[in-house]
Amino acid sequence: MNNKPIIALDMSSKIEVIEFLEQFHEPLFVKVGMELFYQEGPSIIKIIKDMGHDIFLDLKLYDIPNTVKSAMKGLAKLGVTLVNVHAAGGSKMMEAAMEGLVEGTPEGQERPFLIAVTQLTSTTEEQMQQEQNIMTSLDASVINYAMLAKSSGMDGVVCSVLEAKEIEKACGKDFYKVTPGIRLAGGDAHDQKRVATPDYAREQGSTQIVVGRAITQAENPSTSYATVKQLWGGI
């Protein structure tokens, strides 16, 4: 998978997305999440692809294996580069997701990479223990889910930069570690609790970084993107 910084298009309309992307004059790797996909539907994927960009479709599927398999079969036809599920759905669900992707990928096209969300970065250890009744540390739960994702055939996980090193130890260098929560030094953390710079992410073993507001809300998004790219340095 290419390792350009992934720009999170956390916008709700086609118009906003097109205006934003028109500021760039190179092929990008962008993330479309629930907000945009639920408003605009699959047509937004075609528009972005036709502009020449790669897409991470971040819908975090979580349902019974049969439903996830059928959903993935449909998503595989969209020609995106990366999709994801929740590891909490279990090994059977993750395996079914992969089967759906393999079955749904049109001949001659590459299967989208499939990664799993471990614990959401918005979940605290206290909340995990009290609400999910998981009586370990948050880190131990993240590693457990990463290992489960690996043994279920996933290509990697979404995780925080601060977890990337441990996941690398447990699951290897080639297992993708896609890390959001990226900020430039001195930038606003917004609602993210644990943020890291692109160069620190690289040091910690992130294989891809997801950058939203540090680029989308910058005064000059293309300059910010260039800075992120330079610090990340992995292309």
- Which are the catalytic amino acids? 60
Name the closest residue to ligand C5P (Cβ).
212
Q: Would you say 183 and 199 are in contact if contact means Cβ atoms under 8 Å apart?
A: no
In whole angstroms, what is the distance from residue 118 CA to residue 128 CA?
A: 12
What is the nearest approach in angstroms of ligand C5P to the Cβ of residue 177?
12
What is the nearest approach in angstroms of ligand C5P to the Cβ of residue 226?
17
What is the nearest approach in angstroms of ligand C5P to the Cβ of residue 216?
7
In whole angstroms, what is the distance from residue 208 CA to residue 205 CA?
A: 9
For ligand C5P, which is the closer residue by CB, 105 or 211?
211
- Residue among 101, 96, 92, 204 at smallest CA distance from 148: 92
What is the nearest approach in angstroms of ligand C5P to the Cβ of residue 103?
27
Contact residues for ligand C5P (CB under 6 A)? 8, 10, 33, 120-121, 158, 180-182, 190, 192, 210-214
Q: What residues have CB less than 8 Å from 6, skipping those under 6 apart?
A: 29, 30, 31, 56, 178, 208, 209, 210, 211
For ligand C5P, which is the closer residue by CB, 104 or 196?
196
Can you read off the two tokens belonging to residue 209? 């970084």
